[in-house]
Amino acid sequence: MKKNTSRLFLCILLLVILSLSMLYISFTQTDKILNIFKDQIHSVINERLPNSTSFAYKNIEGSLSSSIKVNNILISNEFESIQINKLVFHPYQLSNFYLFIYTLLNADYYSHNLFKFQSIEFESIEISNSTIEDSLSIYFKQITINKDELTSNNIIINYLGNKIDLFELRLNLNFYDYIDFNILNIKTIQNKRIHISSKKIELFNKKINNQLVVSNCTFIFDLTYDANDKLFNITSYNNYLYMDNIKYYFNYNIDLQSKINNRFPNVLIINKFVVFNDKQIKYIDALGRVNLDNMYINLNINTNKLEYFDFIYPQKGKINITGQDYLYEINFLLNNIENMVELTFDKLKGKFTFNLQDNNKPLLSFSLPVVMKDKYYDGLIRISDIFSFDSIYDTKIEIITERINPFKLKELNQID
């Protein structure tokens, strides 16, 4: 009896050792194990993807004891594709046999997620949408995700020929000691103060052929989500950027409302957008609504001591922008304008059409003359059509005088 018990114990011990050895081999030779079950892996992935979507990759290298590399990933359907040149996983606490055993013995602690990583790296990612109506591509040069932050050397977003280029982007994450496959779940960043920074942002608009460059941008905000109304709210704090070496501060409160599968927001509601200086003097105070499906815009903007076109300096201004499909009507009222003439004008009022459609029509078109009024002067300004941003300073301008005080002609001399 004693001999049989000993044999049974030895058999169990050998079975345990064999099982542990097989498990450890699966961690140290992960690429070979995955290659054996390649067809089953593809089957599981394809079951989870929509019928029209395909998944492919070149090969898997490495192991869970060091790092896993998946090369040349392609996820695509008829209209969209995601290409990843190289995806690298650095496992969490599995680099030696002791930590491997420790992980197994503490399985209850780790049971809510099977795979945990110290960091995840993407060598390059390109996301593209080939539909004519929504031509879009996003390129990430390199992304690293760890428990502290997400970083990317360069992100390029192209939409209908318009481009946003972000350099050295950083997003704080503040996970626990590890990260898992839930990194894209919105719950992981809810109820946290999110901090995004970028060394430089370049914005290029195809229609006006103009590039805007801002540097050292910081965005700090809270993100909340209302599942019942499918509503994201973003409330910012102490944001700033540099433009032409001038530091601007700005804060905003916006809602993003989603109506399609809880995935992408279609409506952006601007509850507050304020630009101010370090003395808390407001330059811009705006609110409005943008429908992202047809780019319907309704914005009301108040300005204070803001410069227009490098030579118009009104003390205050009101601007209303309405329209859709990249064709907008802009109504404006500027008060107490300096620097046009020696006199300070009381009012400059008018409206024009701002056309960002690619239809060979004017970029700016004034259907009616701009009204220019002061206690010494009443007049109209006819402005010819402007077809590009570069020609905005070469525009033909005709001034029609309705009333003028002849004793104040000197004050109406134009300032060079």
More confident: 26 or 359: 359
Mean pLDDT of 117-135: 77
**pLDDT value at position 109?**
47
Q: What percent of the chain has pLDDT over 90?
A: 15
Question: Does 196 map to a domain?
Answer: no
Residue whose C-alpha is closest to residue 325's, from 161, 133, 163, 164: 133
Average pLDDT of the chain to the nearest whole number: 78
Residue where a domain stops, chosen among 184, 214, 233: 184
Q: Is residue 84 predicted with pLDDT exceeding 80?
A: yes
Same domain, 302 and 158: no
Q: What is the pLDDT of residues 363-375, one digit of tens each?
A: 889 989 988 887 7
Question: Does 271 map to a domain?
Answer: no
Mean pLDDT of 228-233: 78
Same domain, 9 and 148: yes
Q: What is the pLDDT of residues 260-308, one digit of tens each?
A: 544 555 888 999 999 988 777 888 999 999 987 788 999 999 998 887 7
**pLDDT value at position 95?**
54
**pLDDT value at position 410?**
47
Question: Does 44 map to a domain?
Answer: yes
**pLDDT value at position 300?**
95
Residue ranges of alpha helices (H) inside 318-416 are none
More confident: 152 or 103: 152
Dihedral, CA atoms, 284, 287, 288, 292, nearest 10 degrees?
Answer: 70
Q: What is the pLDDT of residues 376-390, one digit of tens each?
A: 778 888 888 888 777
Least confident segment among 69-78, 109-118, 276-285, 341-350: 109-118
Question: Does 247 map to a domain?
Answer: no
Question: Does 328 map to a domain?
Answer: yes
**pLDDT value at position 281?**
81
**pLDDT value at position 318?**
94
Q: Is residue 351 predicted with pLDDT exceeding 80?
A: yes
Phi, psi of 183 (to 5 degrees): -60, -25
Q: Which of helix, strand or coil describes residue 412?
A: helix
User: Given pLDDT bands bounded at 50, 70 and 90, which one contains residue 110?
Assistant: very low
Same domain, 180 and 298: no
Query: How far does the chain reach from its first CA to its final CA, in angstroms?
Result: 112
Q: What is the 3-state secondary structure (H, E, C) of 53-116?
A: CEEECCEEEECCCCCEEEEEEEEECCCEEEEEEEEEEEECCCCCHHHHHHHHHCHHHHCCCCCC
User: Given pLDDT bands bounded at 50, 70 and 90, which one contains residue 103?
Assistant: low
**pLDDT value at position 134?**
57
More confident: 68 or 41: 68
Same domain, 180 and 300: no
Same domain, 176 and 43: yes
Same domain, 303 and 163: no
How many secondary structure helices (H) and strands (E) does the chain include?
A: 5, 25
Least confident segment among 34-43, 72-81, 175-184: 175-184
Q: Is residue 161 predicted with pLDDT exceeding 70?
A: yes
Q: Is residue 98 predicted with pLDDT exceeding 60?
A: no
**pLDDT value at position 14?**
74
Question: Does 391 map to a domain?
Answer: yes
**pLDDT value at position 402?**
61
Mean pLDDT of 214-224: 88
* Residue 300, domain extent: 294-416
Residue where a domain stops, chosen among 151, 184, 217: 184
DSSP state of 367: S
Mean pLDDT of 143-160: 85
Same domain, 172 and 308: no
**pLDDT value at position 416?**
45
User: What is Dmax (Cα atoms) for the chain?
Assistant: 127
Q: Is residue 87 predicted with pLDDT exceeding 80?
A: yes
**pLDDT value at position 176?**
64
**pLDDT value at position 86?**
92
Phi, psi of 296 (to 5 degrees): -65, 130
In which residue are the tokens 């070469």 written? 394
Same domain, 178 and 315: no
- For 134, 146, 197, 227, the CA distances from 179, given in Å and listed in that order, are 33, 7, 21, 25
Residue where a domain stops, chosen among 134, 162, 184: 184
Question: Does 327 map to a domain?
Answer: yes
Alpha carbon 2 to chain centroid, angstroms: 71
Residue whose C-alpha is closest to residue 25's, from 58, 63, 79: 63
What pTM does this model have? 0.69
CA distance 152 to 142: 5
Q: How many domains are there within the chain?
A: 2
Question: Does 386 map to a domain?
Answer: yes
More confident: 223 or 84: 84
**pLDDT value at position 415?**
43
**pLDDT value at position 157?**
87
Q: Is residue 116 predicted with pLDDT exceeding 90?
A: no
In which residue are the tokens 């002067």 written? 377
